[in-house]
């Protein structure tokens, strides 16, 4: 191995020192990171299979893909995704607006943020702590919403998907 300043690395001198226990072994074996000079092999990716053809997959795998497409088009899946979006989109919008309002107020109105509330505690400190509190409350609300409105339906959908995939002979 060489350092970036072309001096030999103290631990070894070259690619022969790379062992199986080296985390970069797979990357070097795959050709990633090797120079594309005169002596270096050119890495050519295999051609993509034609559309609609499952190259190198067992016949059941194409059936399994059809199962997932069928589930994706189902009313139960659309309902789970709809419930997810109805919670996440407004929550993210409100949280981002609250964060931007905090940052803008801190930079545009430092006198307001420096206004004392009680002793050494000022408006800016309370607003900053409110950011943490909002994060925890949003996490709690998300997990509660998921538990009450989506988890049971999603678990049933997952079970049905695995059963359909097993029936068609594919792996789940």
Give the number of other CB atoms < 10 A from CB of residue 54. 14
pLDDT of residue 127: 95
pLDDT of residue 64: 76
For residue 72, give the nearest of 170, 158, 172, 7 by alpha carbon. Answer: 158
Chunked in runs of 10, what are the mean pLDDT values of the chain (172 residues)?
52 52 48 53 53 52 78 90 95 96 95 92 94 96 94 90 80 52
pLDDT of residue 38: 55
- Outline where 73-167 has alpha helix (H): 75-108, 110-113, 123-145, 151-167
pLDDT of residue 165: 83
pLDDT of residue 116: 92
Q: What is the dihedral of CA 62, 64, 67, 69, to 10 degrees?
A: -60
Bridge pairing between strands 116-118 and 121-122 = antiparallel
pLDDT of residue 25: 47
pLDDT of residue 67: 84
- Taking the model in full, what pTM does it have? 0.57
CB 117 within 8 A of CB 123: yes
């Amino acid at each position: 191995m060489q350092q970036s300043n072309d001096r030999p690395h103290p631990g070894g001198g070259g690619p022969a020192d790379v062992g199986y226990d080296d985390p970069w072994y797979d990357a070097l074996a795959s050709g990633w990171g090797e120079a594309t000079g005169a002596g270096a092999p050119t890495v050519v990716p295999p051609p993509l299979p034609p559309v609609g053809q499952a190259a190198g997959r067992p016949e059941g795998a194409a059936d399994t893909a059809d199962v997932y497409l069928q589930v994706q088009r189902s009313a139960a899946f659309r309902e789970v995704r709809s419930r997810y979006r109805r919670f996440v989109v407004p929550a993210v919008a409100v949280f981002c607006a609250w964060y931007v309002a905090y940052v803008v107020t801190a930079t545009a109105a430092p006198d307001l943020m420096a206004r004392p509330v009680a002793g050494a505690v000022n408006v800016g400190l309370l607003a900053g702590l409110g950011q943490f509190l909002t994060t925890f409350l949003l996490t709690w609300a998300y997990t509660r919403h998921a538990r009450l409105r989506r988890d049971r339906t999603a678990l049933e959908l997952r079970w049905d998907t695995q059963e359909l995939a097993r029936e068609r002979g594919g792996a789940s």
